[in-house]
Amino acid sequence: MNNPHTNAIKQLEKVAKVLRPEYEDKRLFDKAINKLKKPDKIIEGTVRIKMDNGSTKIFKAFRSQHNNSVGPYKGGIRFHKNVSKEEVMALSTWMTWKCSVTGIPYGGAKGGVIVDPKKLSKTELERLSRAYARLIAPHIGPWVDVPAPDVNTTGEIMAWMVDEYEKTAKKRYKTLLENPVATFTGKPLLLGGSKGRTEATGLGGFYILEQLVKKLKLSPGETRIAIQGFGNVGYWFSHYAHAAGYKIVALSDSRGGVYNEKGLNPDKVLVCKQKGGTIGDCNCTDKSCSNKGTRITNVKLLELDVDILAPAALENVINIKNAKNVKAKVVLELANGPTTPEADEVLSKNRIIVIPDVLANAGGVTVSYFEWTQNLQGYYWEKELVLKRLKNLMDEAFLRMWDLKTKAKVTARVATYMSAVKKVVDTMILRGSI
């Protein structure tokens, strides 16, 4: 099985070889790269909660803080049965690059609990959330580490964590030294959340798509897109792409999907999924599900002959076993780490453009940054302003990458990482922290 942290290190080492000649002091550069290969700190522990039946259960929990040279650590919290120390280490590393790419003043972090939240009642889920907040409370804060939702966590869970963090801070300091609301992002609007946060990751990916299509001189109406993953990110990306005239030919969730060469309406597919529980279960013969599509597996979806393939679900879905079968012209990584380093080499040899996750899905953390800024100011923006500022940052990040890709004659991933890693290394050197 692929170790995600090993993959993250391989990506860093690859770009380091390209960057190293630019630095006069090679020893200092090497020292910075070696420091970036592991997180600054890993919080690892257990959380104990009382279940509804009176029993007690213990869950393993983590928080990885990768690097804070550019600003406070930033990253989500996931509740999933497959969470591991290696996974949060990798995700925290990618978060450092993601924040650097868009130019927001954060470093990377990630957290998680090994749990299947579907097996918990709502009251048990709240107890788990509060217990996790108490575990990490000494290590977070608006100028230290700013967590957010991730897989299987929500705005409501962030609200519970904010409340628990505030109680913990009051006990420790007897008074509040900071605004606890600014310690978490992805919160409900009533608790200081930002307008536009729900669709931010998928919409940010759409903004990248728009810039890419211009560079490749494609016509939206003739651009065929297949999307693996129909959660929040996959849905909003498909929604905006369809509204702009792109042809969504395939959509899938964890149990399979639907394909139609004439195009699918993702909003109607969502209605169908909500009725049947999964895209495949609706058979897509109902008029509510667009044009009588046919069932397709997730494996086959990745191998479709399309213009844009957007993996928006899990890590490592494009790997050494199936990379040679990918026929898309572009892979737009909306998920975190969907392509292994070995597969990336195959795609590059086959002249498939890969827009990396740290750029393609950076819309979420960008609007989280906006939320944090609004919390610190106590001044909130209208949705139109949030989305306008998101578009500006995503467009600028893409254009910087494309310009570097063209000048250095490297892949989009290498160009993205060159920009991100160089900024972090230069900041570390400027601070004198290495």
Evaluate whether 411 touches 354 at the Cβ level (below 8 Å): yes
Place of tokens 């509804």: 52
Of 43, 376, 363, the residue nearest 183 (C-alpha): 376
- CATH class of the 39-191 domain in this structure: alpha beta
Query: CA–CA separation, 96 vs 109, rounded Å?
Result: 7
Dihedral of the CA atoms 72, 105, 377, 165 (nearest 10)? Answer: -20
| 10-residue mean pLDDT series, the chain (434 residues) | 85 95 96 98 98 98 98 97 95 96 97 97 98 97 96 96 93 75 96 96 98 97 97 96 97 91 92 80 52 83 98 92 98 94 96 97 97 96 98 97 96 96 97 91
Span 232-253, pLDDT tens digits: 999 999 999 999 999 999 999 9
Evaluate whether 266 touches 238 at the Cβ level (below 8 Å): yes
Backbone φ and ψ of 430, nearest 5° = -65, -40
Evaluate whether 209 touches 248 at the Cβ level (below 8 Å): no
Residue 176: CB atoms within 10 A of its CB come to 10
**CA-based torsion, 341, 347, 348, 352: positive or negative:** negative
Of 129, 332, 140, 120, the residue nearest 223 (C-alpha): 332
Length of the chain: 434
Evaluate whether 253 touches 229 at the Cβ level (below 8 Å): yes
Integer distance in angstroms from the first to the last C-alpha of the chain? 34
Predicted local confidence at residue 255, as pLDDT: 87
Place of tokens 């048990």: 124
Tokens of 380: 């909130």
Predicted local confidence at residue 3, as pLDDT: 86
Break the chain into its structural domains and give their ranges: 39-191, 200-360
Predicted local confidence at residue 176, as pLDDT: 65
Predicted local confidence at residue 124, as pLDDT: 98
Largest CA distance in the chain: 65
| 200-360 shares the fold of 39-191 | yes
Predicted local confidence at residue 123, as pLDDT: 98
Catalytic residues: 110
Of 206, 248, 214, the residue nearest 228 (C-alpha): 248
CATH 3.40.50.20 for domain 200-360, yes or no, is no
Backbone φ and ψ of 21, nearest 5° = -60, -20
Of 36, 20, 136, 158, the residue nearest 96 (C-alpha): 36
Predicted local confidence at residue 165, as pLDDT: 95
Instruction: Give strand pairing partners of 146.
Output: 74
Predicted local confidence at residue 292, as pLDDT: 61
Predicted local confidence at residue 282, as pLDDT: 57
3-state SS of the chain is CCCHHHHHHHHHHHHHHHHHHHCCCHHHHHHHHHHHCCCCEEEEEEEEEECCCCCEEEEEEEEEEEECCCCCEEEEEEEECCCCHHHHHHHHHHHHHHHHHHCCCCEEEEEEEECCHHHCCHHHHHHHHHHHHHHHHHHCECCCEEEEECCCCCHHHHHHHHHHHHHHHHHHHCCCCCCHHHHCCCCCHHHCCCCCCCCHHHHHHHHHHHHHHHHHCCCHHHCEEEEECCCHHHHHHHHHHHHCCCEEEEEEECCEEEECCCCCCHHHHHHHHHHHCCCHHHCCCCHHHCCCCEEECHHHHHCCCCCEEEECCCCCCECCCCHHHCCCCEEECCCCCCECHHHHHHHHHCCCEEECHHHHCCHHHHHHHHHHHHHHHCCCCCHHHHHHHHHHHHHHHHHHHHHHHHHHCCCHHHHHHHHHHHHHHHHHHHHCCC
